[in-house]
Amino acid sequence: YWPEMPPPPQCLRDWARNLADAVVGKQGGAVAALLSTPPSTSDLGGWQPRNAQELLDLLGGHALSEVAYYEAMAVWAPTPARAIRFLLCAVDSFLEFHTAPRRTSPVGWDTAILVTMVHRVRECALLPGAIDASGDGDDAAPGDGDVDVVGVLVRTWRKAFLTIRDLDPNDQPTVSRSRGALALLNGLLAILFVHRNTHQARIIIQSVAQMEQEPGAGVLQKCGHMGSEVVRFLFYRGRLALYDRDAATAFAAFRDAVSRLPPFDQCTANVRRNRQRLVFFWSIAGIACGAMPPEELYAPDPLLAAIVGALTSAIGSGSDTAFDTALEYYAPLLKLRGVYALLLAAARPLCLLVRLMRVHAAIGALPGGDPSRVPLELLLRAEQEVTDAPSAASPATVASGGGKRSKGSKKKNGGSGNDVASAGEGNGDAATSIETLHKRGRNNHASSAPFVACDAEAAVLEGASYVPRHRAERQELRAAVRRVLEPVDELGLRVAQLIGSGRVMGYVATDARTLVLSKKNPFPRPAVSSLGYTLPG
């Protein structure tokens, strides 16, 4: 004796009938809306299909019945991990229908369905526990065994991306199915960024960059009319460039993304938040490149105005101490927004460049002065004058005036926050040889203990080819360089770095301790520039 199951609720029947009518009428927007909003479990009143065929028969047997089945099961899934697997099966089933040859069907009507489904997968992947390294038991449905969701996602969606990219080559981009390729790519990049899989994201973005160089194969050219998808892809390209410390590429990507958005006063609330986020990364990448953002760019964001204002004022004053203080003070906030202070540390040589330009101008203003020869002693004295000058608006006064310090500045053992002074403490072995330093450089990941001060000084004096990797070792090596070298020699090394970067034309005469500048063009690249910031409107 088998108890009779109750019939499907009326709300489920209406949803299935409306979905079938929308599919027959080739109404992509209506189909996407119905697929994304199946009846919830509360509306069903506890009804569940006895098997998959019962629900498929109810859906009418049209071409998207299997997709609708997986979408409904994702809504009824008890856990996010099970829901994300049903959604991935729905996308795979839809791609089989989407990439099939077309004869009489209208071209491109189902691209809206693909975009909606990809966005649903991305939103579900953001839920905690939606994607694990493997699934077992109930969470592994609808497949069996352990499932590497990210690996399956990368393999299947990349293959689908290459297939969709070549669909409908003779149709207009606004109606071609190839316009959905960028949405599929952005959904994959979003999931990879959430799980910090930058290796796969880098491979995908580099492959797209190679496609752009081929005539007729560029994805951004075909999808240029889909502004939101293009902006999202440029955002991921810029973020990946920031991870790779390529500030110039990130600056160009964020500049292109912001130029595609309307002005700030003409944006909706969501677009305004996205624009502020893009402007934040754009300004940070610009400072790392040496291009200072204009004030009207970051004025609408008070936090960005405080960070950029402190850094630009420190660079404008030429004070290395003020720049380091501002960078250390705002480092926790920068990390919360996805930017590490090490990227902005590349702009520290600009402070020395500003001082050098001012000393060069001051010598040229003197009667009989030769601005092409700048003594390093004079440049060092200018650095001391700038360092001793008080700056009331700098974050140093806020930090030292009783304000809260960042958590990262306190030691776990209750000691002081001076990493340089305490880097070599706690290690009693002070007789480590240069060979030990070389061995520690080869096996740096095996031991994280910082070496003592005498080891670093020996490495500097003996010219050891040891490259430290840990933060404490780098700081101790810098401190050892300061102890071994005189301040003038250290300043000469920093000036040589400016010459090597192409910002200064000249050479350092070590015997006379003088910087000899080019009389024709001593500073080919400006220290502070707003070039490249093109504001829309």
Q: Model confidence over 234-249: pLDDT tens digits?
A: 999 999 999 888 888 9
Q: What is the pLDDT of residue 272?
A: 86
CB 80 within 8 A of CB 127: yes
d(CA 43, CA 45): 5
Q: What is the pLDDT of residue 135?
A: 44
Question: What is the sign of the dihedral through the CA atoms of 222, 226, 231 and 236?
Answer: negative
CA atoms within 13 A on the CB side of 341: 16
How much is the mean pLDDT over the chain?
A: 74
Higher pLDDT, 414 or 224: 224
Find residue 514's DSSP bridge partners: 375, 509
Q: What is the pLDDT of residue 482?
A: 63
Torsion of CA 21, 27, 29, 30, to 10 degrees: -10
Average confidence (pLDDT) over 148-170: 78
Quote the crossing angle between the two packed helices 227-243 and 198-213, to the nearest 10°. Answer: 120
Q: What is the pLDDT of residue 425?
A: 36
Cβ neighbours of 305 (radius 10 Å): 15
Average confidence (pLDDT) over 32-61: 77
pLDDT digit string, tens, across residues 446-488? 333 333 333 444 444 444 444 555 667 767 766 766 665 677 7
Q: Which two tokens stand for residue 176?
A: 């071609």
d(CA 86, CA 77): 8
Average confidence (pLDDT) over 124-137: 63
**Cα dist. 37→18, 66, 68 in Å?**
12, 16, 10
Q: Is the pLDDT at 267 greater than 90, yes or no? A: no
Percentage with pLDDT > 70 across the chain = 72
Torsion of CA 211, 217, 220, 226, to 10 degrees: -150
Confidence label for 15 from pLDDT (cuts 50, 70 and 90):
confident
Find residue 291's DSSP bridge partners: 529
Higher pLDDT, 428 or 482: 482
Average confidence (pLDDT) over 319-338: 87
Average confidence (pLDDT) over 482-496: 75
Strand order of the sheet with strand 514-517?
373-375, 514-517, 506-509
Average confidence (pLDDT) over 283-297: 86
Q: What is the pLDDT of residue 221?
A: 73
pLDDT digit string, tens, across residues 212-234? 777 766 777 777 777 888 899 99
Q: Is the pLDDT at 146 greater than 70, yes or no? A: no
Cβ neighbours of 507 (radius 10 Å): 14
Q: Which two tokens stand for residue 378?
A: 């004079």
Confidence label for 403 from pLDDT (cuts 50, 70 and 90):
very low
Confidence label for 209 from pLDDT (cuts 50, 70 and 90):
confident
Whether the bond between 142 and the residue before it is cis, its omega within 30 degrees of 0, is: yes
Q: Is the pLDDT at 393 greater than 70, yes or no? A: no
Average confidence (pLDDT) over 426-442: 34
Structural domain boundaries in the chain: 10-100+107-289
